[in-house]
């Protein structure tokens, strides 16, 4: 029996254990569920350590080579590995109530840094460029539908005035477009979930049993 | 109890069983329903088709985990086959820790099919945590983010990566993601650097990404298993995407029938439920 067949068989048995939940909750399902959690935690730990912590923090701090030129003690790259490394360790202070406050410093830097990095590109991508794309000439039915849908939907989310008269009419049109959007999302969601089932059936029939 | 009420009270496990049968049967009795290629998929295919052989590489970000691999792995295989059949160089990376093994498996499988040489035709850069920082960093210098490939070889020692400094030397990025990483490539690669980005996402996410097509922020889009099947049709190499489409269509029809039946049964029993409620009062 080859190693591939052994591992595929284990995968197949675990798949069946998980799907047994559809009949009712049972110990086989619980076993598979706990196994996934445990294995995932171990896998993530190893991947993060060997792909990031070791090459990016441990190796530079202890002057071991990573990629290009050797790291110089107290050089720019050495500090750039040491300081974030210490900040990362400070996050674990939250496990010790007396010094839990220490963990807020790196968290503040982390949140601030990411907010700063994201502000301009996200506004550009999600707001300005979308507004630009909706400044369309009303020369085709598609463009008219798009503009009507946009105005209607925005009106529906305008809560400073009562939805009566023209405002109410536009809001009702907005609801129609929102519902169409929800319908499309639901359809795609069904497709996605069924794809996962098809993937597993494919695995059981093709990869495991070789029936096709 | 009326027939409609019985329908509403049916044990859901019968529906699970019916769905399982509806998925399995088309595997043995394929219906051969046609897969029509849509414009977003064709656009992505053409963007890959424009890449020059043995030149600047396509950067393929395999940002997916096992939970979404039935939809995204067929895309990955189809795109890699498209590239390797045309001798287009590919650099593969991942921003998802669970994507490491999946990316390795996909590229290993396709490289073996086309006898591609590691370091000359393709390279696996490995995993980087974070999203915005590595994507932005690749625009400055790839070696800042990936000084070495996934196996510890410095990029400077890899022939394929010679002269590949940053996004200026990467004609196209394709991200295959089951989470918000696909959007992040638009934010942090397209917006600041003007990098051409294409995406393959799960069907659940697809509707959120159509606005980026209209604005040109994405050059093309593959949505779910259907998108993978369309790409497989274009590369003329049917895989798990096309294989699953018959089951997909049968299930969709079955669900439509269930929705109609459920609604009819609900409205037909509404009067009797109302009367029963009044009787209790």
Contact between residue B142 and residue B111 where contact means Cβ atoms under 8 Å apart: no
Q: Write down the pLDDT at residue A118.
A: 87
- Between CA B116 and CA B174 the distance in angstroms is 20
* CA dihedral (A175, A181, A185, A188) positive or negative: positive
Mean pLDDT to the nearest integer, A138-157: 92
pLDDT tens column, A69-105:
778 888 888 999 999 999 999 999 999 999 999 999 9
CA atoms within 13 A on the CB side of A105: 13
Structural domain of B251 = 3-30+245-280
Q: Is the pTM of this model over 0.95?
A: no
Tokens of B168: 């200026």
The reply to whether A3 touches chain B by the CB within 8 Å rule is: no
Q: Write down the pLDDT at residue A28.
A: 96
Report yes or no for ipTM above 0.85: yes
Q: Write down the pLDDT at residue B112.
A: 96
Alpha-carbon distances, residue A153 vs A46, A132, A157, A172, B64 (angstroms): 47, 17, 7, 9, 33
Q: Does B48 lie in the same domain as B141?
A: yes
Q: Write down the pLDDT at residue A2.
A: 83
CA angle A169, A172, A178 (to 5 degrees): 145
Tokens of B20: 């399982």
Q: Write down the pLDDT at residue A67.
A: 63
Picking from A22, A192, A201, the nearest residue to B13 by CB comes out as A22
The chain-wide mean pLDDT, for chain A, equals: 90
Helices assigned H by DSSP within chain B: 3-8, 12-28, 39-49, 69-85, 99-114, 132-140, 142-145, 181-185, 191-193, 203-214, 224-234, 240-280
Q: Does B103 lie in the same domain as B15?
A: no
Q: Write down the pLDDT at residue A52.
A: 86
Q: What is the DSSP string of A52-63?
A: IIIIIIIHHHTT
Q: Does B163 lie in the same domain as B130?
A: yes
Q: Does B184 lie in the same domain as B115?
A: yes
Contact B248 A198 (CB under 8 A): yes
Residues present in chain A in total: 212
Given B222, B238, B254, the domain boundary residue is B238
Q: Does B163 lie in the same domain as B26?
A: no
Q: Does B50 lie in the same domain as B23?
A: no
Q: How far is B71 from chain A (nearest CA, A)?
A: 6
What count of other Cβ atoms lies within 10 Å of the Cβ of residue B17? 13
Alpha-carbon distances, residue B275 vs B271, B272, B279, B280 (angstroms): 6, 5, 6, 9
Provide the domain count of chain B. 2
Mean pLDDT to the nearest integer, A176-197: 92
Q: Write down the pLDDT at residue A161.
A: 82
**Interaxial angle between packed helices B224-234 and B69-85, expressed in degrees from 0 to 180 and rounded to the nearest 10:** 20
pLDDT tens column, B185-197:
999 999 999 999 9
Residue B281 three-state SS: coil
Q: Considering only CB atoms, which chain A residues are within 8 Å of B215?
A: 129-130, 132-133
Closest CA to B228 of B178, B180, B171, B190: B178
Q: Considering only CB atoms, which chain A residues are within 8 Å of B132?
A: 114, 117-118
Which residues 63-122 of chain B have a CB within 8 Å of chain A?
Answer: 67-71, 97-98, 100
Which CATH number belongs to the domain containing residue B126 in this structure?
A: 3.40.50.10160
Q: Does B195 lie in the same domain as B168?
A: yes
Picking from A130, A199, A212, the nearest residue to B27 by CB comes out as A212
Q: Does B264 lie in the same domain as B146?
A: no
Residue of A nearest to B151 (CA): A51
Helices assigned H by DSSP within A55-207: 59-61, 76-90, 104-123, 129-133, 141-156, 165-202
Where do we find the tokens 């400077």? B156
Where in chain A are the domains?
136-212
Which residues 143-162 of chain A have a CB within 8 Å of chain B?
Answer: none
Which residues 157-186 of chain A have a CB within 8 Å of chain B?
Answer: 181, 184-185
Low-confidence ranges of chain B (pLDDT < 70): 1, 280-281
Q: How far is A164 from chain B (nearest CA, A)?
A: 30
* CA dihedral (A7, A13, A15, A17) positive or negative: negative
pLDDT tens column, A115-144:
998 899 999 999 999 998 888 888 899 999
Q: Does B105 lie in the same domain as B25?
A: no
Q: Write down the pLDDT at residue A194.
A: 92
């Amino acid at each position: 029996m080859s190693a591939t067949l052994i591992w595929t068989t284990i995968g197949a048995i675990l798949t069946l254990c998980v799907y047994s939940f559809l009949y009712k909750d049972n110990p086989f399902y619980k076993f598979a569920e706990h196994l996934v959690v445990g294995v995932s935690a171990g896998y993530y730990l190893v991947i993060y350590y060997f792909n990031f912590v070791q090459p990016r923090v441990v190796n530079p701090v202890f002057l071991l080579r990573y990629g290009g030129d050797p790291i110089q003690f107290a050089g720019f790259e050495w500090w750039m590995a040491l300081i974030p490394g210490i900040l990362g360790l400070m996050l674990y202070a939250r496990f010790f109530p007396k010094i839990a406050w220490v963990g807020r410093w790196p968290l503040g830097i982390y949140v601030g840094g990411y907010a700063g990095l994201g502000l301009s590109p996200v506004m550009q991508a999600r707001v300005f460029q979308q507004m630009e794309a909706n400044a369309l000439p009303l020369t085709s039915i598609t463009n008219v539908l798009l503009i009507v849908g946009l105005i209607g939907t925005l009106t529906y989310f305008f809560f400073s005035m009562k939805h009566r008269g023209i405002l109410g009419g536009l809001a009702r049109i907005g609801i129609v477009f929102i519902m169409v959007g929800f319908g499309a999302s639901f359809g795609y969601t069904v497709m996605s979930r069924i794809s996962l089932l098809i993937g597993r059936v494919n695995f059981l029939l093709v990869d495991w049993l070789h029936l096709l | 109890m009326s027939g409609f009420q019985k329908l509403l009270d049916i044990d859901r496990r019968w529906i699970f069983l019916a769905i399982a049968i509806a998925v399995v049967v088309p595997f043995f009795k394929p219906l051969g329903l046609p897969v029509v290629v849509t414009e977003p998929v064709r656009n992505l295919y053409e963007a890959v088709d424009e890449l020059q052989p043995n030149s600047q590489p396509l950067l393929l970000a395999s940002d997916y985990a096992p939970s979404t691999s039935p939809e995204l792995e067929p895309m990955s295989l189809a795109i890699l086959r498209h590239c390797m059949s045309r001798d287009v160089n590919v650099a593969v990376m991942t921003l998802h820790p669970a994507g490491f093994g999946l990316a390795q498996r996909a590229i290993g499988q396709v490289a073996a099919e086309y006898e591609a040489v590691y370091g000359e035709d393709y390279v696996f850069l490995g995993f980087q945590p974070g999203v915005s920082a590595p994507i932005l960093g690749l625009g400055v210098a790839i070696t800042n983010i990936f000084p070495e490939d996934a196996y510890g070889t410095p990029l400077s020692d890899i022939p394929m990566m010679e002269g590949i400094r940053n996004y200026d030397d990467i004609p196209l990025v394709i991200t295959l993601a089951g989470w918000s990483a696909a959007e992040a490539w638009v934010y942090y690669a397209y917006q600041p650097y003007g990098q051409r980005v294409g995406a393959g996402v799960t069907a659940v996410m697809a509707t959120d990404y159509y606005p980026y097509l209209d604005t040109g922020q994405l050059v093309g889009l593959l949505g779910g298993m259907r998108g993978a099947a369309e790409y497989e049709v274009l590369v003329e190499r049917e895989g798990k995407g096309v294989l699953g489409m018959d089951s997909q269509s049968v299930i969709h029809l079955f669900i439509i029938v269930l929705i109609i039946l459920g609604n009819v049964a609900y409205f037909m029993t509404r009067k009797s439920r109302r009367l029963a409620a009044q009787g209790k009062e």
